[in-house]
Amino acid sequence: MLNPLPRLAHETPVVEVLSAEKTYPDGTRALDPVNLTVRDGDFITLLGPSGCGKSTLLKMIAGLMEPSDGRLRWWRQGAQALGTQGRKLVFVFQDPTLMPWARVRANVRLPLELQKTAKQEAERRVDEALALVGLESFDRHYPRQLSGGMQMRASIARALVTEPNLLLMDEPFGALDEITRNKLDADLIDLWWKRGLTVIFVTHSIYEAVFLSTRVAVMAPRPGSIREVIEIEEPHPRTEAFRVTQRFAAYCKELTELLRQ
Amino acid sequence: MKPLVRNERFMRLAMPMAIGIVALVLWQAAVTAFNVPKYIVPAPSLVLQTLLADRALLFHSLFVTLEITFAAFVCALVVGTLLAFFFVQSRLIEISLFPYAVLLQVTPIVAIAPLIIIWVKQPMAGLVICATLVALFPIIANTTLGLRSVNPGLANLFRMNKATRLQTLLRLRIPSALPYFFGGARISSGLALIGAVVAEFVAGSGGMGSGLAYQILQAGYQLNIPRLFAALVLITVTGVLLFSLMVLLSKLALGNWHESELGAE
């Protein structure tokens, strides 16, 4: 299979962040003016220590927060066009945020029910999403009966069920142990590749950033800003084997040095 | 098979019962040994005898008290829940009205019951209002808290999916509030019974003149202490049964998911 990136160069950018900055009402400067263009099929990671504004930037991209100055465009449109056909974005939180009173299936179906999708169509898409994250035999379980990793899978299935064009993830595997995290990373990259998704992913793990991304935006704190955007030129599909290569180590070294500056 | 002593469920039933039996035996022995007259403390056996002998009278009274209790409990559930929904509509409504809910709670019912019974012509309605006032507060307080205790992440999720107010209420706020609601209902069920008994006491012969509290008053005047005890036993047993019923309902509603109803696994 070929790397999907070249075919994308001519298409409409998914997100354009144009000198967007953020100062909170209490005067805290969260983000200096930032520029970033996300193309269709990108897997971009925002990498940095806490306080570097990566969550703030992600929330602005999600349309959950307005920039104090500058602007954002989605598919060359304003925020009001979000959610229409072909312009769907979905947010995966740091916690699984599942409804404890509902079974996995009902949790995954929730966005479709809120959008009043026809029942048959909804069930089909739920089955598909559960299969994508490998939870098809756990659909009758309650969230508390699942491990942390499986709860996160259910949360991702709930995001995918809406068939989004853009997936935003805010340190989704931050609370998991490293072994589980590596496994989920590998499954996520597989999913991204097979489904042709566009992903913006926040993390403070260098290894995770190198393993997953097509590009890494290295951010600096106080006030938050993007220091540099590094291209990870490892072809896809990537497997766990990439983690133990020289190239992987070299990228980790480069990012570590950038973060230390 | 595991020895019964190691069986948690068996011990949970057996131990309180054993203590109860020991207490009854000691009570019976003490009354016999010291020759305590029955108008001071009747022996458990005599209380049981009286309960059986006066069953027609006592169970009729129990029915009356139960009627008041259930009516009050249902009123408290409905009014309390409606008020809670009203309170969470806006912060302003809550801060304006919540102090009055507290005021209601701290006003001793014994003090205002005579007034209510004078004001309300229909005696049954007066008693139900008194008992409702006693049982109301836990429902208001808990349900309000529950409706506010929505996981912020889930609230965000609903907002991002453009959920309507009604969808958010039905699918998020109400399920989130249920554990709190049942906690309140559990306390409130007992309070409704206490409220009913207190109201009957205050109303005395001015009330309906046939509930269990009335029997206790009458038995007291007539120094018929065994009957007083028998009536007391009925009230206590009713209270325990009501509480158990609420525990059962709560288990049925929340058993599958809420921490409070999950056994240690």
In the structure, what pLDDT confidence band is assigned to residue B263 with cuts at 50, 70 and 90?
Answer: low
- Residue A127, chain B, CB below 8 Å: the answer is no
Q: Which of A95, A100, A114 sits opposite B257 (nearest CB)?
A: A100
Are residues A75 and A106 located together in one domain of the fold? no
Question: Is A224 within a domain?
Answer: yes
Q: Which of A90, A97, A144 sits opposite B154 (nearest CB)?
A: A97
Please write the tens of the pLDDT for every residue from A167-199.
Answer: 999 988 888 888 888 888 888 888 888 888 899
Q: A107 phi and psi, to 5 degrees?
A: -65, -45
> Chain A: nearest CA to B176, how far in angstroms?
8
What is the residue-wise DSSP string for chain B? ---GGG-HHHHHHHHHHHHHHHHHHHHHHHHHHTT--TTTS--HHHHHHHHHHTHHHHHHHHHHHHHHHHHHHHHHHHHHHHHHHHHTT-HHHHHHHHHHHHHHHHS-HHHHHHHHHHH-SSHHHHHHHHHHHHHHHHHHHHHHHHHH---HHHHHHHHHTT--HHHHIIIIIHHHHHHHHHHHHHHHHHHHHHHHHHHHHHHGGGTTS-SHHHHHHHHHHTT-HHHHHHHHHHHHHHHHHHHHHHHHHHHHHHTTT-GGGPPP-
> Chain B: nearest CA to A112, how far in angstroms?
9
State the total domains in chain A: 2
In the structure, what pLDDT confidence band is assigned to residue B66 with cuts at 50, 70 and 90?
Answer: very high
- The single residue listed with the structure tokens 């806490």 is A50
In the structure, what pLDDT confidence band is assigned to residue A78 with cuts at 50, 70 and 90?
Answer: confident
Domain that holds residue A103: 99-163
The pLDDT score that the predictor gives to residue A2 is 41
Please write the tens of the pLDDT for every residue from A211-256.
Answer: 889 998 888 888 888 888 888 888 888 888 888 888 888 888 888 8
Which of A163, A185, A212 marks a domain boundary?
Answer: A163
Which of A163, A191, A209 marks a domain boundary?
Answer: A163
In terms of CA atoms, which chain B residue is nearest residue A116? B163
CA–CA gap between residue B218 and residue B227 (Å, rounded): 9
The pLDDT score that the predictor gives to residue A29 is 83
Are residues A121 and A78 located together in one domain of the fold? no
Asked whether residue B26 carries a pLDDT value surpassing 90, the answer given is: yes
The domains located in chain B, with CATH, are: 60-89+97-253 (1.10.3720.10)
Q: pLDDT exceeding 70 applies to what percent of chain B?
A: 95
Tokens for A62? 């999600």
Please write the tens of the pLDDT for every residue from B233-254.
Answer: 999 999 999 999 998 888 888 8
Q: How far is CA B32 from the centre of its chain?
A: 35
CATH number of domain containing A84 = 3.40.50.300
Which residues in chain A are closer than 8 Å to B256, comparing Cβ atoms? 101, 142
Please write the tens of the pLDDT for every residue from B27-43.
Answer: 999 999 998 888 888 99
CA–CA gap between residue A73 and residue A59 (Å, rounded): 14
- Residue A65, chain B, CB below 8 Å: the answer is no
Mean pLDDT, rounded, for B142-168: 88
Asked whether residue B55 carries a pLDDT value surpassing 50, the answer given is: yes
Mean pLDDT, rounded, for A157-164: 88
Are residues A55 and A83 located together in one domain of the fold? yes
The pLDDT score that the predictor gives to residue B188 is 94
The pLDDT score that the predictor gives to residue B264 is 43
In terms of CA atoms, which chain B residue is nearest residue A101? B257
Interface test with B, best of A58, A101, A141, A162 (most B CBs within 10 A): A101
In terms of CA atoms, which chain A residue is nearest residue B164? A114
In terms of CA atoms, which chain A residue is nearest residue B262? A144
CB contact under 8 A, A142 and B257: yes
Are residues A106 and A139 located together in one domain of the fold? yes
Cβ pairs A/B, distance under 8 A: 49
Question: Is A176 within a domain?
Answer: yes
The pLDDT score that the predictor gives to residue A1 is 39
Are residues A56 and A185 located together in one domain of the fold? yes
> Chain A: nearest CA to B168, how far in angstroms?
9
> Chain B: nearest CA to A173, how far in angstroms?
16
Instruction: Specify the higher pLDDT residue, A78 or B146.
Output: B146
In the structure, what pLDDT confidence band is assigned to residue B205 with cuts at 50, 70 and 90?
Answer: low
Interface test with B, best of A114, A146, A160 (most B CBs within 10 A): A114
Q: Which of A97, A101, A114 sits opposite B161 (nearest CB)?
A: A114
Please write the tens of the pLDDT for every residue from A7-61.
Answer: 444 578 888 888 888 888 888 888 888 888 888 888 999 998 887 888 888 888 8
Are residues A111 and A129 located together in one domain of the fold? yes
- In 3D space, the residue among A83, A72, A85 whose CA is nearest the CA of residue A13 turns out to be A72
In the structure, what pLDDT confidence band is assigned to residue B135 with cuts at 50, 70 and 90?
Answer: very high
Asked whether residue B265 carries a pLDDT value surpassing 50, the answer given is: no
Are residues A173 and A79 located together in one domain of the fold? yes
Question: Pairing mode, if any, of strands A198-203 and A89-92?
Answer: unpaired
Q: Are B135 and B199 in contact (CB under 8 A)?
A: no
Which residues in chain B are closer than 8 Å to A97, comparing Cβ atoms? 151, 153-154, 156-157
Question: Is A94 within a domain?
Answer: no
Q: Are A22 and A53 in contact (CB under 8 A)?
A: yes
Are residues A114 and A48 located together in one domain of the fold? no
First vs last Cα of chain A: how many Å apart?
38
CB contact under 8 A, B157 and A110: yes
Instruction: Specify the higher pLDDT residue, A151 or A88.
Output: A151
Are residues A27 and A104 located together in one domain of the fold? no
Which residues in chain B are closer than 8 Å to A64, comparing Cβ atoms? 156, 160
Mean pLDDT, rounded, for B76-103: 90
CB contact under 8 A, A101 and B154: no
Mean pLDDT, rounded, for B77-90: 91
Q: Which of A90, A91, A99 sits opposite B175 (nearest CB)?
A: A99
CA–CA gap between residue B125 and residue B122 (Å, rounded): 5
Q: Which of A83, A91, A101 sits opposite B257 (nearest CB)?
A: A101
Tokens for A34? 């930032």
Asked whether residue A85 carries a pLDDT value surpassing 80, the answer given is: no
The pLDDT score that the predictor gives to residue B261 is 65
Are residues A37 and A158 located together in one domain of the fold? no
Are residues A200 and A245 located together in one domain of the fold? yes
Which residues in chain B are closer than 8 Å to A114, comparing Cβ atoms? 158, 161-163, 167, 171
Question: Is A192 within a domain?
Answer: yes
The pLDDT score that the predictor gives to residue A3 is 45
Asked whether residue A4 carries a pLDDT value surpassing 50, the answer given is: no
The pLDDT score that the predictor gives to residue A6 is 44
Asked whether residue B78 carries a pLDDT value surpassing 90, the answer given is: yes
The pLDDT score that the predictor gives to residue A76 is 82
The pLDDT score that the predictor gives to residue A114 is 87
Q: Are B162 and B226 in contact (CB under 8 A)?
A: no
DSSP 8-state assignment for residue A12 = P
Question: Is A1 within a domain?
Answer: no
Are residues A183 and A61 located together in one domain of the fold? yes
pTM of the model: 0.79
Asked whether residue A155 carries a pLDDT value surpassing 80, the answer given is: yes
Could you tell me which residues of chain B have a Cβ less than 8 Å from any Cβ in chain A?
Answer: 151, 153-154, 156-158, 160-163, 167, 171-172, 175, 178, 254, 256-258, 262
- Residue A173, chain B, CB below 8 Å: the answer is no
Q: pLDDT exceeding 90 applies to what percent of chain A?
A: 9
- In 3D space, the residue among B147, B138, B146 whose CA is nearest the CA of residue B184 turns out to be B138
The pLDDT score that the predictor gives to residue B207 is 54
**Average per-residue pLDDT for chain A:** 84
Longest dimension (CA), chain B: 77
Question: Is A226 within a domain?
Answer: yes
